[in-house]
Structure 1
Amino acid sequence: MGIGFRELLIILVIALVIFGAKRLKTIGSDLGGAVKGFKKAMAEGEDEDSKQLSAPAQKDADFESTPASKSDSKSSTV
C-alpha cells in the first residue's frame, strides 16, 4: 500500500515540470540541510536530557558527603 517506484517517478516528473531542474536541485539541497540540522538538534537535546538526569544523582551524592551532613547524622545518634 506504500508508494512504489512508479508513483515516486510520477511525483518527481511533476515536481521537475513545476519547479525546473535548477530550483529542484536547490530545494533538495535545502531540504537535506534542514534534515541534517534537525538531527543535530535532536542529538544535542538528548545529550542535555541525559546530563540533566544524571546531574541530580550527582548532587545527591555530593550532599551526602559534605561534612555538615555527616556531623548532623552523628549528633542525632548520640
Structure 2
Amino acid sequence: MLNNSFYYCITWKNCTRPNEYHTCGSPCQTTCATLGQTCPIVNIRCNDDCYCIEGYARGAKNNCIPIKDCPKRRPCQSAYKRC
C-alpha cells in the first residue's frame, strides 16, 4: 500500500475497471478535455494513482469513459499548441 500526493492510501485493489493502478504514472491524467495535448508538467517523481486503461479517458464527471464517447470539440473550443 502506498500514499499518493494527497496522502490517501492507494492500492491496486482500489482501482476498479476501467481504471488501473500505476506506481509511476504520468502527472497528467488522460482526459476528454486534453486529448491530443502533451502534458505540460515535467515529472520529477513517480505519481502513484489510478489511471484510465488504454482507450479510455476521464470525462466531465471524473470517471473513465471510452475515448470514442468523449464529447466532440466545437471549433471555438479547439486547443492550440505553441510551435
- Say yes or no: TM over 0.5: no
Question: Per residue, is there more strand in 1 or in 2?
Answer: 2
Question: Per residue, is there more helix in 1 or in 2?
Answer: 1
Flag the structure with larger Rg. Answer: 1
Choose between structure 1 and 2 for higher RCO, CA contacts under 8 A separated by at least 6 residues. 2
TM-score range with shorter-chain normalisation? Answer: under 0.3
TM-score by length of 2: 0.18
TM-score by length of 1: 0.18
